[in-house]
Amino acid sequence: MSAGSSTMAGPQPTVIELSDRQQRVLKQLLRRQTSTQRLVRRVSIILAAADGSNNEQIAKRLGLHRESVRQWRERWLSAAAGLAAVEAKESDDKSLVEAIAAVLADAYRSGAPSCFSAAQIVQIIAVACEEPQASGLPITHWTPQELADEVVKRNIVESISARSAGRFLKRGRSQAASEPLLAEF
């Protein structure tokens, strides 16, 4: 390597090879006003990788971490055969756009398991929709702590924090307009 070379030492990542159609669709996604910022960033990574830039160069240019660039390059490479199959099978770009967007979408994350069953959630929301006076409470609106105490008292759940009860309280509030939508004559 010459002293004036701008390439970095170390293993070069696998170059992404795009068909003309894939490149056209990616550029379309890049310009589309409804594309999310996240999708635009990922499309930019793929296009730069296809132009021969390494992960470090792409990361610097886009203001990203090198590992993020590596992840999206690998994701694209592992999906390349499937994308080629979609491209060969479908003549319209819509299917290819959907397939590319799926490859560049966030991976499913399961998150923490739910603490409450669907039946318990329905019952908690039902209590939140009731008037507190129906439970013998001298208040006009539920507070998170009072709702938590009431659902435990009714044996709907063994325990629940006031914070969790507050989330159900927000869900239980009516989404209807507070004022009539039709004028009275």
Alpha carbon dihedral 108, 114, 117, 118, in 10-degree steps, equals -40
Cβ distance 123 to 151 under 8 Å? yes
Cβ distance 61 to 53 under 8 Å? yes
Taking only the tens of pLDDT, the chain with its 185 residues reads 444 444 455 578 888 999 999 999 999 999 988 888 999 999 999 999 999 999 999 999 999 999 999 999 999 998 998 888 888 887 788 888 888 988 898 877 766 667 887 788 888 888 888 889 988 989 888 889 999 999 999 998 989 999 988 887 776 454 444 444 444 44
Using the structure block, give the residue that is written with the tokens 């990788």. 49
